[in-house]
A and B are shown apart, each in its own frame.
Chain A
Amino acid sequence: MIQYKKHQLENGLTLIVNEDMTTQLVAVDVLYKVGARDEHISKTGFAHLFEHLMFGGSVHIPDFDTELQKAGGTNNAYTSNDLTNYYDILPAENIETALWLESDRMLQLDFSERSLNVQRNVVCEEFKEHYINRPYGDVWHKMRKLVYTTHPYQWPTIGLELQHVQDATLNDVQKFFYTYYRPNNAILAISGGITFDKAVELSNKWFGDIPKGDIPIKNFPVEPEQTEKRFLKVDADVPVNVIYKAWLMPERTDPKYYAMNLLSDVLGMGETSRLFQSLKMDKKLFTDIGAYITGSIDKGMFIISGKLAEGVSYEDGEQGIDAEVQKICSALVEDTELQRVKNIVEMDMVSNLTGVMNKAESLALSEMLEDAALVNTEVERFRAVTTEDMLSIAQHILREEKSNTMYYGK
């Protein structure tokens, strides 16, 4: 259980505080409700590029990192398809430095050609290092394009192509900032050695005068129901052939999400999972196989992927997968299987509540999703799932005509 208190500033910034006096540290998490799904298809990769620019200096502070390091702090950030998250961890007595820094870059970035130039290059190198210079680096570019025809989840956060990042202009940057990086589109979560009252006082002091913005209503094109099986073969010079099979699944806040999440664990999480035991150990079709979900806010992906054993054809591998999918769609999972995956989820959730950074981040993410209370109550939603729920959702989602299969390799 995390104890926390919530407060909203007049400009719409939501503050959530977890007091933890057992630590000498404090974590400050600032979540902006903007991600790659908010991008235009001709300007992809922008939310992520923007995350880099947030470290290029703000209106009163030329160097974010230096100031934080002087306070003994460290920070990082990430961009997903749904959101952009920034966090700082520093000695609790220096918390004001983090609030000073975060509020200044929320107030106004220092929009400079120099910073944009450098970060464009850094992001292009990141693109090359992770998505071009690496075997299987473009798997999710291909897979997203296959699964999504309409929704902006069809591109990964790094962007569709290098060119989009290279074409970004200072004007784009400013527009993006004033559209999305406003207090009423952000959540400030604090965990560590600070009282709620002090946190409210300091947040008002540093964030209180930042004007609110006119946040566009999120109105993403809805991905239509899939009615025909899709297939893609990617010829790639990789040493191991891989099969990916994906289905569109319910939104993150849909009650059916929980059953689907547990279903992926029964199929493909851990050494006792069905895919591991049947297709890797017994039939020896794969050397590695798993099932997982993307956990996105809008309709996400339910994915099975496996590395084929040497000499096994794609078709035989896929048949093996199909047989297991068929099985889970035709009979209830065992009670012990369900109990196992529920215990795994509970364990993950408890682990996620240790350390100031985990706590601040969990609070912010829950608040964006629904409400901060979710950090404590979500485990109950998992516990409530029955084997009948799982069968019914499996039959509804894991249908052949709704599947997307990719053969990747030789």
Chain B
Amino acid sequence: MMRETAPALQQVTTIDLRNYTETQLANGVPVYYTTAQEEDLIRIEWRFHAGRWFEPKKLIARATSALMRKGTSTHSAKELADMVEFFGTQIQSSFGQDDTSVHITCLGKYLSRILPVVEEILTDAIYPEEELHLFVQRQQQRLRVSAQNTDFHANRAFQKALYGVEHPYGYAMEEPDLFAISRQELQDFHRTHYLPGTATIFIAGNVQNDTLALLEKHFGKQKRTSIVSPFEQIVAKPATDKKIFIDKADSVQSSVRIGGPIIPKTHPDFPGLNVLITAFGGYFGSRLMSNIREEKGYTYGIYSTVSHHTHASYFSIETEVGNEVCDAAIAEIYHEMRRMREEKMPEAELAKVKSYMMGSMLRATDGPFNRINVIRNMIQSGLTPAYYDDIVSAILNATPEHMQLLAQKYLNEKDMYEVVCGKKVG
């Protein structure tokens, strides 16, 4: 047998993102779903414009999201938890820079028992003083624990450098801001931002006819309202000094963050840039990983990504490296950027990146529970399946010349913010 010869390969060439259903509740709340009936499992997500971009004061979005399940006028936090945990699930909430979500995953047979609790929380959360107090205490502890980690300081400094502390994307949690949160502010924010009429709903799994009827019953009556941000006019105030060092003398490793603002995903260059950034540091075989982990052994991992907020996008390289090799690692990062600008990517490498990316998209869209996440991102960004056709075509048709051109435009050392938290050596 020819073990030296790789088996023949087939390239994935299409990604199916049109396989979902869109409908509306009577009040106009949009509902998107993908179905699969092998297991009696269903996941529902209510999405709200209630992240930092919409908060009237620092930390309100985070606290509201964390505390909405902690009591209504008829049930205590424990009772609410009991009502859903008995059926083996929890109501979860998660918080982001722009949007937030409330979600459940449960066995379909229990859905009718869970939805009334979600409705009660969305329409009648009361934010008990005691729960707020506990939240503040917990966050304070967490801050103190995190403050011992170099990555915590590096992440905060990096966001601050990009946007400034007055910007909703740029500020970091501080203890005084925690103590300044009042129960009334949380209730007010909830009443304007979390009423069921403001939601967009995403469902995956065992969706039956009565599933939609149940949603209609619990979430289709309240009036649909729209949300305005207090930050429509805000301008980012990036740091003037691009190199930031935070001394942490007791650390054995340094956290490195390098990057800066970059084009949004709707920019015509983005689909190509997506390929470039993956080749550079977006997967295990990337330039950064091959050089800095696999060849030099400086780190356990190094990645580059483009992250998108609704109103800003940024590029970042993240790694944790030994203090003694920190300068060497940074030099290698810039060296790899230079290589991307000065040399054409070998065809074989580009082919590998293409295959990896197509496989990766296939995985991201495989099965209803994965696919709904991609569909949600698409809907929330105001995109259509055609956008993903462009992404796919940019992957399949990427050329070394185009990659080099994009590197010359977007991978320049002089544009990069460089944040290091660790111990100075030598």
Q: Is the CB of B149 within 8 A of A310?
A: no
Q: Which of A61, A94, A347 sits near B106, CB closer than 8 Å?
A: A347
Q: Is the CB of A209 within 8 A of B6?
A: no
Chain A contacts for B10, CB-based, 8 A: 91, 93-94
Binds B, one of A40-48, A68-76, A163-171, A397-405: A68-76
Q: How far is the CB of B62 from chain A (nearest CB, A)?
A: 17
Q: Is the CB of B85 within 8 A of A287?
A: no
Residue of B nearest to A336 (CB): B86
Chain A contacts for B284, CB-based, 8 A: 65, 69, 74
Chain A contacts for B322, CB-based, 8 A: 125, 128
Q: Is the CB of A239 within 8 A of B11?
A: no
Q: Is the CB of A132 within 8 A of B252?
A: yes
Chain B contacts for A8, CB-based, 8 A: none
Asked whether B40 is an interface residue with its Cβ less than 8 Å from the other chain, the reply is: yes
Chain B contacts for A94, CB-based, 8 A: 7, 9-10
Asked whether A89 is an interface residue with its Cβ less than 8 Å from the other chain, the reply is: yes
Given A133-B252, A281-B78, A287-B141, are A72 and B7 also a contact pair (CB < 8 Å)? no
Asked whether A129 is an interface residue with its Cβ less than 8 Å from the other chain, the reply is: yes
Given A91-B359, A91-B362, are A65 and B285 also a contact pair (CB < 8 Å)? yes
Q: How far is the CB of B120 from chain A (nearest CB, A)?
A: 16
Q: Is the CB of A240 within 8 A of B141?
A: yes
Asked whether B179 is an interface residue with its Cβ less than 8 Å from the other chain, the reply is: no
Q: How far is the CB of A291 from chain B (nearest CB, A)?
A: 15
Residue of B nearest to A355 (CB): B367
Number of interface residues of B (CB under 8 A): 69
Chain B contacts for A67, CB-based, 8 A: 6
Query: What's the Cα separation between A140 and B349 when bound, in Å?
Result: 42
Binds A, one of B49-57, B220-228, B230-238, B296-304: B296-304
Chain B contacts for A386, CB-based, 8 A: none
Chain B contacts for A238, CB-based, 8 A: 145, 148
Given A90-B359, A97-B7, are A23 and B85 also a contact pair (CB < 8 Å)? no
Chain A contacts for B362, CB-based, 8 A: 24-25, 72, 91
Residue of A nearest to B41 (CB): A350
Q: Is the CB of B253 within 8 A of A128?
A: yes
Query: What's the Cα separation between A60 and B5 when bound, in Å?
Result: 9
Chain A contacts for B158, CB-based, 8 A: none
Chain A contacts for B252, CB-based, 8 A: 128, 132-133
Q: Which of B8, B41, B77, B144 sits near A240, CB closer than 8 Å?
A: B144
Q: Is the CB of A287 within 8 A of B352?
A: no
Q: Mark B255-299, 1 if CB is under 8 A from A, else 0.
A: 000000000000000000000000000011100000001111111
Residue of A nearest to B354 (CB): A72
Q: How far is the CB of A106 from chain B (nearest CB, A)?
A: 12
Chain A contacts for B8, CB-based, 8 A: 96
Q: Mark A76-110, 1 if CB is under 8 A from B, else 0.
A: 00000000000001110110110010001001000
Q: How far is the CB of A292 from chain B (nearest CB, A)?
A: 16
A interface SS class: helix
Binds A, one of B87-95, B182-190, B337-345: B87-95
Binds B, one of A28-36, A115-123, A213-221, A364-372: A115-123
Query: What's the Cα separation between A284 and B144 when bound, in Å?
Result: 19
Binds B, one of A251-259, A270-278, A388-396: A270-278
Residues of A bordering B, CB below 8 Å: 22-25, 59-61, 65-67, 69-74, 89-91, 93-94, 96-97, 100, 104, 107, 117-122, 125-126, 128-129, 132-136, 205, 209, 238-240, 270-272, 277, 281, 287-288, 307, 309-310, 336, 339-340, 342-348, 350-351, 353-356
Residues of B bordering A, CB below 8 Å: 1, 3-4, 6-12, 36, 38-41, 77-78, 81-82, 85-90, 105-107, 134, 137-138, 141, 144-145, 147-150, 251-253, 283-285, 293-300, 320-322, 351-353, 355-356, 358-360, 362-363, 366-367, 369-370
If A135-B148, A346-B88 are given as contacts, then 19 extra A-B residue pairs at C-beta distance below 8 Å, sorted by A number, are A25-B363, A61-B3, A69-B352, A72-B11, A72-B356, A72-B360, A74-B284, A74-B359, A94-B10, A125-B320, A133-B253, A270-B81, A270-B85, A270-B90, A336-B86, A342-B88, A343-B88, A350-B39, A354-B367
What are 14 A-B pairs at a CB distance below 8 A?
A24-B366, A72-B360, A74-B363, A91-B10, A126-B300, A128-B322, A129-B300, A240-B145, A271-B78, A271-B81, A281-B77, A310-B141, A343-B88, A347-B105
